[in-house]
Amino acid sequence: MKLSIIILAAGQGTRMRSGLPKVLHPLGGRPLLGHVLDTARRFDNVALHVVVGHGADRVCDFFPDPAIHWVIQEQQLGTGHAVAQVLPAIPDDHTVLVMYGDVPLIRKETLGALQVIALNNEVGLLTAKLDDPTGYGRILYAADGSIAGSVEENDATGKQRRLREVNTGFVAAPAHHLRRWVDALDNNNAQGEFYLTDIIALAVADGIIVRGVNTKDRNEVLGVNTRAQLATLERCYQQRQAMACMEDGVTLIDPARFDLRGRLVAGQDVVIDVNAVLEGEISLGSRVSIGPNVVLREVTVADDVTILANCVIEEADIGAGTRIGPFSRIRPGTRLAQTTHVGNFVEIKNSEVGAGSKVNHLSYIGDTSIGRNVNIGAGTITCNYDGANKHRTVIGDGVFIGSDTQLIAPVNVADDATIGAGSTITRDAPAGELTLSRAPQETRKGWQRPVKKK
């Protein structure tokens, strides 16, 4: 039987106090709804329906997937009303699974148990036991142990509010039954809304068994209504990420101080120190060492690379045996060949650095091609921007650049050339020769240093 998943994502999220639709707020570097969609897509033979309301255009534009059937809920009149907007597009022979766009940590395996129940012409309801069930509907049981109903907190009695097992809202049911029950919903309750959870009592009245699946991981059913809740779920999510990395063999010096906001593929014996932030697609070879406070974004790192503290590397390829940092910034478009050295307070952008070359101190290298076994002295600057256009610098193999040199692009420095310290190079430097530009040194005898007046 084919599965239709309905994702409810129409809420405004007023308590977020934001102009951004709630389901677009990021968790682990991706929107909340993105996590939910990823989980839904893991099911086989699935049709995806997403109900949107507040900020619908922004939400739809963010996920340009033609497989998604977007449904606009013009008025937010409750979860039952939201589901009713979708049901006309779902055939009677489908199983329907309802998910929530602001509950990002739900697992496919948990939802799969609900699907199995629905395939038996029954209703599957996900429940959880919470120490503090405030805000959730409570589960009511019949004498035979089956679920008899669910009561929203605003409509519950004092005794019912003391119950700790709650209705998470995740439900699976045969479409032909669900259609009938949703049509029968009313809004005769404290909130004046059409509650999807009221279908439980309707199913029981029809003689359809409602079976509960109790999740042991409370975090997977937590939703986001405030920024504090979002921060709590961020830590839950990062704990999952850290555990998965360590199970794959990565050493995390402190798993509580590690953020993976994307996907990591790592070789053997990788060590990551505290406060590292990894974003996007990250590939680390074997025996890579990452120091504290490092940020990696869309980076490929080969074997035996050492990245020291406080480096920022984005959209770059790092060759085997390279050493970077501390306090280096490697910007997009950079390719470092094997066994290169990039030292403290060095910035490299859109450049290639050849094997064995060194840029060790306080330098800026932009729009540059550097050959093999080149030494770039401290304070070297490639002046690549003339105020209107970027120009390229080409440095050949075996070149030695003295400290405090400015290379005014476009300029070529040929193989084995030497540039004297303190030079400003505006023309091509020939191979194997010393090129320098310096003003004559002079001493002014009798000169007195100014002093402050008393």
List all residues 6 or more positions away from 140 whose beta carbon is below 8 Å from its beta carbon: 147, 148, 149, 150, 151, 160, 163
List all residues 6 or more positions away from 442 whose beta carbon is below 8 Å from its beta carbon: none
Angle between helices 79-86 and 175-183 (to 10 degrees): 130
Residue among 320, 316, 317 at smallest CA distance from 305 = 320
Distance in angstroms (rounded) separating the CA atoms of residues 289 and 269: 9
What ranges make up the beta strands (E) of 26-136? 26-27, 30-31, 46-52, 68-72, 95-100, 123-129
What ranges make up the beta strands (E) of 372-433? 375-376, 381-383, 393-395, 400-401, 406-408, 411-413, 418-419, 424-425
Degrees, nearest 5: CA angle 87-79-58: 85
Q: Which amino acid is at 366?
A: G
Asked if residue 1 lies in contact with residue 94, where contact means CB atoms within 8 angstroms, the answer is yes
Q: Verify whether residue 69 is a known catalytic residue.
A: no
Q: Is 416 helix (H, G, I), strand (E, B) or coil?
A: coil
DSSP per residue, 153-168: GGG--HHHHT--EEEE
Asked if residue 269 lies in contact with residue 250, where contact means CB atoms within 8 angstroms, the answer is no
Which helix (H) or strand (E) segment holds residue 364: the answer is strand 364-366
Instruction: Identify the active-site residue in 54, 69, 176, 361.
Output: 361
Report, as residue numbers or ranges, the catalytic residues: 361
